[in-house]
C-alpha cells in the first residue's frame, strides 16, 4: 500500500519559533519526516513524499518523491486521482508513529478510516473508496467525515495516540521527549531541549 | 477484571473555570465519569469507583464505590493491595473512552500496560504484576515506567487517542465535541458550548 506524506520544506513549524530558530526548525522537521518514513517503511508500506519543492532525501530515506506546485489539498487530490486504492495519507509531523501503529491502521476495516489529529485535524486517512478526495483546510476531521458520508462510504475512526500527536507548539515537544524513540526525540535531546512544567501544563524548554 | 476509577467530587476541573461555573463543572465532571463507567461496563469489566467523599451514583451507573479519606496515590495503592490481578486503573476524565478501546486495552500483553495521558500523565494502567504500586504525583508516566522497570516487569505502552485525551482546559472540550458520542458531549451541546478557533488553535466557547 502506498502512503502519501505531504511535506512542505519552506519555513516549517513556525509556531515552534519561540524555542527553535529557522535553521533548527528545518532540521527538526526533517527528523520528524524521517521518523514517519521509517515507520511506514517498517510496516511494509510504500512511502510517497508529496512536496512543493525539490528536496534531497537522505540516502537511507529513499522513497518516491512527487514534486508539485500545488498547495496541500489539490496536491494530494491530484495524486489520489492517479493511484489505486487502498492508499493512505499520513502527515509528516507525527514523530511518535511506529510500524506497529501503521500496521494496525492499515488493517482497520472501513471504506474510509480517519485518524484524528489533536485540535480537529486529520493526521491519517486510509482510503479504500477510489473516488474519495481530501480537504485539509481548517477542521478537516469533520470535513472528511462529511465527504465520506456524502459518498455513502463506511467511516471508521482510528484510535491512536501516536498518530494523533502532531507537533506544532512547544508543549507538543514534551510528548516527543516523553514518548519518542526515533530521530526527532534524539534531535531534541541533542539540542538540549527538556521537559518542563509551566502554568500547570507540561511543555519543553532549553536546558541550562 | 476490576477497573479502579479514582474520582474526587470537590471542586472538580478548576481549569475549566473560564468557561464553566462551579455547578456546571460538577455536573460536567459527573457526565464524564458516566461515560467512563459506561465504557468499562460495556467492555464486560467491573468498574470500582474510588472516591474521597460519599457520592450518590445515579441508578443506571451502579457500581462498587470505595470511599476513602486518602489522597489519590495512597487511595489507589490501598485498593491495589487488596484486589487480585489483573486489575486496571483508569482516570475519570476521559469521556472519549469507548468499550472497544477498553477491550483492546485489557487484551494488550505485558506485566504493566501504560496508557499515556497528554502532558506526561498516565490515564490507564493495566496491572498483571501483583506488587506494582502507582505514583500519580507529577509526570506519572515516567514514574510508572521506572517503577515497573525496577520490578523487572515487562512494560507495554498502549496506543490510544481516546484514552489519552483527559479534559482539563477549554481546548480539551473541543475534542469532546468533535469526537465524543456520550453524555459529556451531549452535556456540552446542551450547555451551548461550541468548537471555535483562537490564536490558530482549536478551543471551545459558549455559543451566542
Question: Out of B165, B178, B200, whose CB is closest to A142?
Answer: B178
| Mean pLDDT of all residues in B73-102 | 97
Write out chain A residues lying below 8 Å of B161, CB-based: 115-116, 159-161, 163-164
Residues of chain B with pLDDT > 70: what percent?
96
Taking CA A102 as the corner, what is the angle to CA A98 and CA A103, rounded to the nearest 5 degrees? Answer: 115
Q: Are B119 and A202 in contact (CB under 8 A)?
A: yes
At residue B58 the predicted structure's pLDDT band, cuts being 50, 70 and 90, is low
Q: Of A13, A17, A110, A118, which to mutate for an interface test with B (greatest number of B Cβ within 10 Å)?
A: A118
> What's the count of helices (H) and strands (E) in chain B, helices before strands?
7, 9
Q: Is B201 on the interface with A (CB under 8 A)?
A: yes
Query: Does pLDDT of A60 surpass 90?
Result: no
| Mean pLDDT of all residues in A140-163 | 97
| Mean pLDDT of all residues in B37-43 | 96
Inter-chain CB proximity B160 and A159 less than 8 Å: yes
The confidence score (pLDDT) of residue A197 equals 84
- The mean-pLDDT minimum among A9-13, A169-173, B140-144 falls in A9-13
At residue B60 the predicted structure's pLDDT band, cuts being 50, 70 and 90, is low
Query: Does pLDDT of A83 surpass 60?
Result: yes
Query: Does pLDDT of A208 surpass 90?
Result: no
Mean of the per-residue pLDDT values of chain A:
94
Question: Out of A15, A118, A174, whose CB is closest to B120?
Answer: A174
Q: In Å, how far is B82's CA from the nearest CA of chain A?
A: 32
Write out chain A residues lying below 8 Å of B118, CB-based: 118, 165, 175
The confidence score (pLDDT) of residue A199 equals 72
The confidence score (pLDDT) of residue B53 equals 79
- Residue linked to cell 519543492: A53
Inter-chain CB proximity A161 and B116 less than 8 Å: yes
Q: Is B160 on the interface with A (CB under 8 A)?
A: yes
| Mean pLDDT of all residues in A17-45 | 96
Write out chain B residues lying below 8 Å of A179, CB-based: 116, 141, 157
Write out chain A residues lying below 8 Å of B140, CB-based: none
Model confidence over A155-172: pLDDT tens digits? 999 999 999 999 999 999
The x, y and z cell numbers of residue B39, run together, are: 465504557
Query: Does pLDDT of A59 surpass 70?
Result: no
At residue A101 the predicted structure's pLDDT band, cuts being 50, 70 and 90, is very high
Question: Out of B119, B174, B202, whose CB is closest to A202?
Answer: B119
The confidence score (pLDDT) of residue B63 equals 87
**Burial status of residue B159 (CB atoms within 10 A of its CB: 0-12, 13-18, 19 or more):** buried
Q: Is A171 on the interface with B (CB under 8 A)?
A: yes
Mean of the per-residue pLDDT values of chain B:
94
The confidence score (pLDDT) of residue A200 equals 72
Query: Does pLDDT of A58 surpass 80?
Result: no
Query: Does pLDDT of B61 surpass 70?
Result: no
**Burial status of residue B8 (CB atoms within 10 A of its CB: 0-12, 13-18, 19 or more):** middle
Query: Does pLDDT of A131 surpass 60?
Result: yes
Residues of chain A with pLDDT > 90: what percent?
87
Model confidence over A45-54: pLDDT tens digits? 999 999 987 7
Torsion sign over Cα A11, A12, A14, A18: negative
Query: Does pLDDT of B10 surpass 60?
Result: yes
Query: Does pLDDT of B139 surpass 60?
Result: yes
ipTM of the complex: 0.95
Question: Out of A159, A164, A169, whose CB is closest to B101?
Answer: A159
- Strand duo A155-157 + B46-51: pairing: unpaired
At residue B56 the predicted structure's pLDDT band, cuts being 50, 70 and 90, is low
Query: Does pLDDT of A132 surpass 70?
Result: yes
Model confidence over B90-138: pLDDT tens digits? 999 999 999 999 999 999 999 999 999 999 999 999 999 999 999 998 8
Q: Are A158 and A145 in contact (CB under 8 A)?
A: no
The confidence score (pLDDT) of residue B109 equals 98
The confidence score (pLDDT) of residue B197 equals 84
Query: Does pLDDT of A40 surpass 70?
Result: yes
- Which chain A residues in 116-155 lie under 8 Å from chain B, judged by CB atoms? 116, 118-120, 138-139, 141-142
Query: Does pLDDT of A56 surpass 70?
Result: no
- Residue linked to cell 481530501: A134
| Mean pLDDT of all residues in A58-83 | 87
- Kindly list the distances between the CA atom of residue A203 and the CA atoms of A186, A196, A198, in Å, as whole numbers in the listed order: 17, 5, 7
Amino acid at each position: 500500500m502506498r502512503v502519501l506524506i505531504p511535506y512542505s520544506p519552506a519555513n516549517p513549524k513556525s509556531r515552534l519559533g519561540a524555542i527553535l530558530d529557522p535553521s533548527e526548525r528545518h532540521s527538526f522537521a526533517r527528523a520528524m519526516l524521517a521518523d514517519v518514513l521509517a515507520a511506514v517503511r517498517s510496516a511494509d508500506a510504500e512511502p510517497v513524499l508529496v512536496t512543493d519543492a525539490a528536496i534531497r532525501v537522505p540516502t537511507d530515506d529513499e522513497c518516491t518523491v512527487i514534486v508539485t506546485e500545488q498547495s496541500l489539498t489539490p496536491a494530494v487530490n491530484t495524486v489520489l486521482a492517479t493511484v489505486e486504492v487502498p492508499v493512505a495519507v499520513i502527515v509528516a509531523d507525527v514523530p511518535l508513529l511506529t510500524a506497529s501503529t501503521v500496521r494496525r491502521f492499515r488493517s482497520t476495516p472501513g471504506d474510509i478510516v480517519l485518524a484524528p489529529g489533536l485540535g480537529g485535524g486529520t493526521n491519517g486517512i486510509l482510503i479504500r473508496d477510489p473516488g474519495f478526495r481530501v480537504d485539509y483546510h481548517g477542521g478537516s476531521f469533520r470535513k472528511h467525515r462529511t465527504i465520506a458520508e456524502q459518498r455513502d462510504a463506511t467511516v471508521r475512526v482510528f484510535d491512536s495516540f501516536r498518530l494523533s500527536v502532531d507537533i506544532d507548539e512547544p508543549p507538543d515537544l514534551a510528548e516527543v521527549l516523553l514518548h519518542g524513540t526515533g530521530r526527532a526525540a534524539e534531535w531534541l535531546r541533542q539540542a538540549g531541549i527538556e521537559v518542563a512544567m509551566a502554568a500547570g501544563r507540561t511543555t519543553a524548554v532549553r536546558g541550562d
